[in-house]
Structure 1
Amino acid sequence: MSKGSGVRPTWPLYLLFFAVAGLVGATISFGLLTDSLVALGIPDPGPVTTWGLPFFRAVGWMLAALSVGSFMFSAFYISPKVPDNDNSRLVQAPLTVDGDIAARTGAFSALSFGLVALLMVPLVLSDVSGTPFRDTLAPDMWGVAVSQVSTAQAWAVAAGFALVVGVAGLIFRKWIAQPLLLVGAVLMIVPLGMEGHAAAGGAHDYGTNSYLWHLVGMVVWIGGLMALIAHGRRLGPDMELGLRRYSRIALFAIVVMVVSGLINAAVRVEWSDWLTTTYGYILVAKSVGLLVLGFLGWAHRVITIPRINSRPRLFLRFAVVEALIMAAVTGVAITMGRTPPPAPRDPNLSQMAIQMGYDLYEKPTLANVFTMWRFDVMFGTIAILITVGYLYGVWRVRSRGGTWPWLRTAMWLSGTVTLFVTTSSGLGMNMPATYSMHMIVHMILSMVVPLLLALGGPLSLIMAAYEPGEPGTPSPHDWVVAITRAPLLKLLTHPLVNTMQFLFFFYVLYIFIPFYELMISEHAGHLSMNWVFLLSGYLYFWELVGPDPVPVKRPTAIRLAWLVGSMPFHLFAGLYLMQLTTVMGESFYLNLGLPWELNLLEDQRVGGGIGWASGSFPMGLVFLLLFLGWRREDRATEVEYDKKADAGEIDEYEVYNEMLARMADGRGTPPGHQEDEFRKR
């Protein structure tokens, strides 16, 4: 590129951002080193670990943010090269030059994050053991780190995710892969959100869930801005479009960061500790940084966005300063992981509070589970957000003069209310404590909530709420259409694959007893199980009875046949659990110290019966919906043939042959009925 072109590379700025984050984190951590070592009771691990661990931890977070922001940019902030400017062909669209650069940046950032994560494994072991860094590089020490140090294990898992995302990002270069790569980039940071101060002690369910929200908001906010800076320095097209889209996401991200940060701080720190402890001082510094960044974000919306076309350099100057402050705040924030928090409010936590994050005081009954409430920061928040989002979509449809079926709205709201109540009432509170309550919540989250949400038709609502974009500039309407035509989704919604994935998670969790014990013993396991229940169930019912489009909409009779064929497998699992004589998760349940008597084997048999019986109702409802749909399709086909026959468009033999053909592929009505219809003619 020529010197006079005005196009400037961004990698020097990336290095500057990384250096600022790393040096701020390392400097603060070094200043607090003595107090940290005394509090933790470990020897000094040496200068490499003392400086290297906070430096590379901060750099790692900045790399993760850049990866997330770059994939979000290539997926949604600018338009791809749509063939013939026909947005209906978005699924085939390659990336533009700018999109391709962003995607490669995301891929290389993920790979670099993976390498940093691998480096963090011996650094973490060195830090927690006081062993010099060079000694932790031995192969046998890696095994010790991953098996015995939870933080090192989290970094190792994050490295695995990152390397997969990075390699996939270099291979798949079409637009349709970018949303999936974005999801993968977010998943890179999830293991790191499951460890640390937030995952330990009382109320760790609040601490972990709020910390996850905080991390996702951070990488979306910081990464998106870095991606926009790079695009602006390349003088790329669609800058105003990308900036406006980012501005909306950034506003949501900063709200998420502030609220989740306050929740996390309230769990771990008394308000009086904010100005009297080292940990509190770091929280204050981080909070001030967030306020400054919030002001700069407001300035972007008011000053730079309206002038982006006439004064693009103004945005870049603002954005670079904002990114530098973000990097400094990131450096401050990572020091919290190495700074001992103040003493807990209750130093004498029960075993139950240590394991679950809270105490239970009475045996759950059908009545009192709805008098116990503990807001679920993860799924309770999601229930609220998707409720608001759906109602906003309905409002958009009606404001454009359209209509939306009230029954679909009722189904969606029923699903979100059920999700909220299940996870935030006594049902969710008692889920980790007893097998029977675990099974109740499992069945609701995998069969009831997904079925209701699928019947709400959210994808159809998005397509109705947003108009197709201008040619070559896809809108949310076009994104949804393209995603429903994605090749991967076509594979996942094949009846065989879809049925197998739905059964797989159920059987793997309950048939392999050690896996079940592992999942219930950690908050990360509970969180993962609930996500899997919801997503697996939604995919299953979306293809089976959902009104939303799928890549291949198979005849109702075929879907009904798949349901009938799979129902015995659902019932068998419940019967198996009812007859099992080994108590699953016995040591975990015994160590909770519940304040009521509980026969674990009998409770497990009750849970198996719940799994067997409760699965019958939603499956019966699905069967009824499919059967009624089959009958409607058949009647509509008959009416169509009757009209054609009466009009003389087809003769009787053609009608009869068509009926036989429909019978052969499962789309027809019972043979006797078809023979009667033919004779009537």
Structure 2
Amino acid sequence: MSLAPVRRQPFLLSAGTVLVAAAVGAVLLWWGGGAVAEAPPGLPDPGPTTAWLLPASRLGMQISAVATVGLLLAAVALSPRDDGGRLSPIGYRRMRAAAGAASVWAVTSTVAVCYTLVDLFGLPAAQVLSLRAVLNFATTVSLGQSLALSGVLALTAAVVAATSLRPGGALTALLLALGGLVPPVFTGHAAGSGDHQLAVSGLLLHVLPVTLWAGGLLALAVTSRGTTADLARAVRRFSPLAVACLTAVGLSGLLSAAVRLPSAADLVGTRYGQVLLIKAAALVAIAAAGLAHRRRALPALVAGRRGPFLRVAVVETLLFAAAIGTSVALSRTPAPIGEETEDLATALLGFPMPPPLTIGNLATAWLPEPLIMAGALAAAGFYTAGVWRLRRRGDAWPVSRTAMWLVGCALIIVATSSGLARYGPLLFSIHMIQHLLLMMIAPILLALGGPITLALRALAPSTDPRWPGPREWLQVALHSRLSRVLTNPVVALVIYVASLYLMYFTGLYELALRSHAAHLAMVGHFLGAGYLFFWVVIGVDPAPRRIPHPLKLILVLISMVLHAFLGVTLMQSTTLIAENWWIALDRPWGAAPLEDQRTAGGIAWSFGELPTVVVLGALMRQWMKADEREARRRDRAADRAEAEGREDAELAAYNRMLAELADRDRHVRR
């Protein structure tokens, strides 16, 4: 493929990407036995058509998903804006191309739903496929639901991308597309392994970064018809994201291999391990190509030469295509570890039944949650980098705020990856400790850490209004309509309190115990709801609306009462929450589930009020400081008025009010 056709006909690179991915996937499907393996005697076989069409539809999903996410990422962050803040012509073209790619994604998802159903039945497609059967599979079976949800999100992203002209619409479409990547992860190879929590979270940590990385590069390569100055700026912006994605992909790949392979010898001794090595080699080659981008292609772009960038981009994109084809083949290649678990407890928990609870086990029996751990470490790293940047330029930042932020991040890791995570699904009382850490203690510390203030001070403003940067995006988010709604004190209180009762008095708690996706959503909601509430009442960061301190005090007292009422309700309840889960789990040690539930209520009622006392203390301290600042402001205004020989405006208004009251009193006496 020569350089000139790539510049004139970007679709040639897209076609080459599809062909390379399909060729590599087909060869490795044959090599790994994912397409030609015969069904065991006595079991039905859907035939070779399904054996090839199913991975082909999965390949179409992956390639179109990569293109969709990459084009939307380029429209949001790698394209200039026009003078009115709308999408520029190149951003508009990327949005329309993303709409087309997302439509293909939706179609291939539909095909995948159909042929996954055929594969499960093991019969020819003509005997299985009907509208009723497909709809039933897509709405009632988890595997079908995940593929169907992915397609629905892709179709929604296509509609948004096709009808939006502003960056906000592009961001909405990007979030929808990223959401569409998630559902299939929870029903793939990783979800069936014994350590499915590690495997699924590790795969999420792999899929999302690699899609952003590959998609962003593809978007820059096939939509590079802007000026070389704009392209150089886009590549410079994309480079740090690519490095972060490379790091996440490498670490998550090692984790996935450790979970799926019993020993290092299986890397070379099994077909699954061999295909995994091929994928790792492709990623290493991509990293080398990325280094060439930084050393040769970017300086050439800055100098006004587009050729070196396009040549390296073509090579890197085709390597990504090979890696995608390898991933599809890997998803159909039998893994060394079987899909069936040994006992019911392992099937429910994702790990064997641990020994009885002790302090030592809580401290040592860690169950790492890679996704949340990576997020907490990244938050701590970015915060530390911001503090370091301020110190470098001679600005001060309170050590207490840094300490609170870092401790808050550490508590998130402890709550989700220590022995608390291993014993949380076994004991409601341990889950309640996790709940308090994630929804009260950690959010309090994070809100007092002032991350938004730090970001606004540490991030440099953009020098070109056509290219808003992270600081400008943060300011837009702070002043958006959504922020004003969420920071309404009533809304923040309802989200914070209502979620407690919905979690424990509906089926959501049992769903979070049975589904890792629901568990991750629960953790995210606990942290988000807690941070939002405490940002409103004691946060040191700027907020879209100012709330008087008396109202903040009322909010804290209401939340304290409702939280205590939840604890008392759990203590006195005679109905076992998530009863089916505890019966199926049949824990052989420890307190009975109902007794443990009452212990959890006692923890929520007693220890849950301690953080509220801290919040009240912080709020009163902020209130007194605000009064002191207001008093000093008034004194300075009065001093200036006296020095200028005039009466202070506020003092004059106060005197007029007193005079009016005196006149009114005299009229009443008469």
> Which TM-score applies when normalising by structure 2?
0.90
Partner residue, 1:649: 648
C-alpha contact (below 8 Å) 2:34/2:329 kept by paired residues: no
Distance 1:119 1:557 in 2: 58
The residue matched to 1:429 in structure 2 has which SS?
helix
- 2:321 is aligned, of 307, 320, 327, to 327
* Structure 1 residue 39: Cα displacement: 6.0
The residue matched to 1:275 in structure 2 has which SS?
helix
C-alpha contact (below 8 Å) 2:36/2:48 kept by paired residues: no
Q: Which amino acid aligns with 2:347?
A: I
C-alpha contact (below 8 Å) 1:45/1:127 kept by paired residues: yes
Distance 1:594 1:317 in 2: 60
C-alpha contact (below 8 Å) 1:125/1:149 kept by paired residues: no
C-alpha contact (below 8 Å) 1:42/1:129 kept by paired residues: no
* Structure 1 residue 535: Cα displacement: 1.9
Note closer, same or farther for the CA distance 1:468–1:155 as it changes in structure 2 (3 Å cut).
same
Note closer, same or farther for the CA distance 1:220–1:544 as it changes in structure 2 (3 Å cut).
same
The residue matched to 1:610 in structure 2 has which SS?
helix
Distance 2:496 2:364 in 1: 32
- 1:396 is aligned, of 381, 389, 393, to 389
Distance 2:171 2:487 in 1: 18
Distance 1:502 1:132 in 2: 51
Distance 1:337 1:12 in 2: 28
Note closer, same or farther for the CA distance 1:542–1:22 as it changes in structure 2 (3 Å cut).
farther
The residue matched to 1:361 in structure 2 has which SS?
coil
Distance 1:255 1:40 in 2: 45
Q: How many residues align?
A: 645
The residue matched to 1:271 in structure 2 has which SS?
coil
| Post-superposition CA distance 1:313-349 (Å, at most 9, x none) | 22112111211121121011112222221145x9873
Q: Which amino acid aligns with 1:73?
A: A
Partner residue, 1:75: 76
Distance 1:325 1:658 in 2: 78
Distance 1:33 1:175 in 2: 42
> Which TM-score applies when normalising by structure 1?
0.88
Partner residue, 1:66: 67
C-alpha contact (below 8 Å) 1:362/1:595 kept by paired residues: no
Q: Kindly report which structure 2 residues correspond to 1:235-254, keeping only aligned pairs within 5 A, or say none.
A: 235=227, 238-254=230-246
Q: Kindly report which structure 2 residues correspond to 1:446-525, keeping only aligned pairs within 5 A, or say none.
A: 446-472=439-465, 473-512=467-506, 514-525=507-518
Note closer, same or farther for the CA distance 1:487–1:115 as it changes in structure 2 (3 Å cut).
farther
The residue matched to 2:44 in structure 1 has which SS?
coil
* Range 588-597 or range 488-497, more displaced: 588-597
The residue matched to 1:404 in structure 2 has which SS?
coil
Q: Which amino acid aligns with 1:649?
A: D
* Structure 1 residue 286: Cα displacement: 1.1
- 1:184 is aligned, of 172, 176, 191, to 176
C-alpha contact (below 8 Å) 1:432/1:438 kept by paired residues: yes
The residue matched to 1:308 in structure 2 has which SS?
helix
Distance 1:457 1:129 in 2: 55
Distance 2:530 2:188 in 1: 31
* Structure 1 residue 15: Cα displacement: 3.5
Q: Which amino acid aligns with 1:414?
A: V
Q: Which amino acid aligns with 1:654?
A: A
| Post-superposition CA distance 1:625-674 (Å, at most 9, x none) | 22332333234334434554563223656127899xxxxxxxxxxxxxxx
Partner residue, 1:336: 330
The residue matched to 1:274 in structure 2 has which SS?
helix
Distance 2:129 2:228 in 1: 44
* Structure 1 residue 42: Cα displacement: 4.5
Note closer, same or farther for the CA distance 1:460–1:387 as it changes in structure 2 (3 Å cut).
same
- 1:118 is aligned, of 110, 115, 118, to 110
* Structure 1 residue 20: Cα displacement: 3.0
Distance 2:542 2:164 in 1: 25
* Structure 1 residue 155: Cα displacement: 0.8
- 2:522 is aligned, of 526, 529, 542, to 529
Q: Which amino acid aligns with 1:426?
A: G
Structure 1, unpaired ranges of 5+: 84-92, 660-681
* Range 410-419 or range 95-104, more displaced: 95-104
* Range 98-107 or range 455-464, more displaced: 98-107
C-alpha contact (below 8 Å) 1:23/1:55 kept by paired residues: no
Partner residue, 2:11: 11
Distance 1:321 1:424 in 2: 40
Computed over aligned residues only, the root mean square deviation of the Cα atoms, in angstroms, reads 2.7
Q: Which amino acid aligns with 1:273?
A: D
Q: Which amino acid aligns with 1:442?
A: H
The residue matched to 1:194 in structure 2 has which SS?
helix
The answer as to 2:627 corresponding to 1:634 is: yes
Distance 1:596 1:651 in 2: 70
Partner residue, 2:662: none
* Structure 1 residue 441: Cα displacement: 0.5
| Post-superposition CA distance 1:99-144 (Å, at most 9, x none) | 2222333344334323322322111111122132344431221244
Q: Which amino acid aligns with 2:62?
A: W
* Range 147-156 or range 455-464, more displaced: 147-156
